[in-house]
Structure 1
C-alpha cells in the first residue's frame, strides 16, 4: 500500500510538471 501511494505521488508530480511546462510553452508562444 505504501509503495502504491508513492507511485501515485510520483505520477502526480510528473503530471503536474508536464502541465506546468505546457502552460509555460503556451504562454510563451502567445
Structure 2
C-alpha cells in the first residue's frame, strides 16, 4: 500500500524492523 510508504521513511529496514513511527498494521500492508 502507498500509505505505508508515506508514513514510513524511505528505508527498507523500516519495513522489516518495528519502528515507533510506523504502527504494526502498516507493516502487514507493505
Check whether TM > 0.5.
no
- Ranked by relative contact order (alpha carbons within 8 Å, sequence separation 6 or more), the top structure is 2
Q: Which has the larger radius of gyration?
A: 1
Q: TM-score, normalising length from structure 1?
A: 0.23
